[in-house]
Structure 1
Amino acid sequence: MPQIIFLPHAELCPDGAVLEGEKGTSVLDLALKNNIGIEHACEKVCACTTCHVLIREGLDSLGEADDLEEDMLDKAWGLEPESRLGCQAIIQDEDLVVEIPKYTVNQVSEGH
């Protein structure tokens, strides 16, 4: 299984994390399963930007973002070429290094 490395985030993952990611699992689901509380206001249906992550290594191993994800990402805080929505970034066969942005745009907080 590929290793998914979450870089340290002051609030959500202060020490960072090295996790085993099963192919076909989203980066968001892996994070949540391991108590890394990335926001996900739309319940993982690609309708917001709260699960925005930066794929620092391994981006090419992910499937390309579709038009809906690209449209959502245009609204994300701190958009970069390595930006993906965690709910849409599906783990494949390669290791990933993931950075959780310092801020998120959450117009409706649902207590996640």
Structure 2
Amino acid sequence: MSQIVVLPHVELCPEGAVIEAEPGKSVCATLLENGIEIEHACEMSCACTTCHVIVREGFDALEPSEENEDDLLDKAWGLEPTSRLSCQAVVPAGEDLVIEIPRYSINHAKENH
């Protein structure tokens, strides 16, 4: 098993968390299964940016992002060089990740756009 260390997020995970993560499963699904209610407006179909995370450690262990994800990330709030959509980032075997959930996300459906 790998671990995902979630840095504190004011609303979703105020104390931070350390989660046992099954390799091969998406970061988003792993967070949700462990009670961290990260937004995922498109139901993890790589059609929005609400599940955007910043990978603070372990980024190089992830499979490279595909073009569709890169195009969406360009629209994410707080984009950084190690940003990924958590629905597309798959937990690597034998590697731990440290992630930060940005304070804001762009969710047009929730914001009545």
TM-score after normalising by structure 1: 0.96
- Confirm whether residue 41 of structure 1 aligns to residue 41 of structure 2: yes
Q: Which residue of 2 aligns with 1:98?
A: 99
Tell me by how many angstroms 1:89 deviates.
0.5
Q: Which residue of 1 aligns with 2:108?
A: 107
Residues of 2 paired with 1:16 and 1:22: CA distance? 19
Number of residue-to-residue matches in the alignment: 110
Residues of 1 paired with 2:30 and 2:16: CA distance? 14
Residues of 2 paired with 1:22 and 1:30: CA distance? 8
Q: Which residue of 1 aligns with 2:7?
A: 7
Moved over 2 A (4+): none
Which one-letter code corresponds to 2:101 in the other structure?
I
1:5-58 Cα deviation digits (max 9, x unpaired): 000000000000001111101110011001101000001000000000000000
Which one-letter code corresponds to 2:49 in the other structure?
T
Tell me by how many angstroms 1:3 deviates.
1.1
1:62-105 Cα deviation digits (max 9, x unpaired): 10000000000000000000100010010012000010000000
Q: Any gaps of 5 or more consecutive residues in structure 2?
A: none
Match runs of 1:9-28 below 5 Å: 9-28=9-28
Residues of 1 paired with 2:2 and 2:43: CA distance? 25
Q: Any gaps of 5 or more consecutive residues in structure 1?
A: none
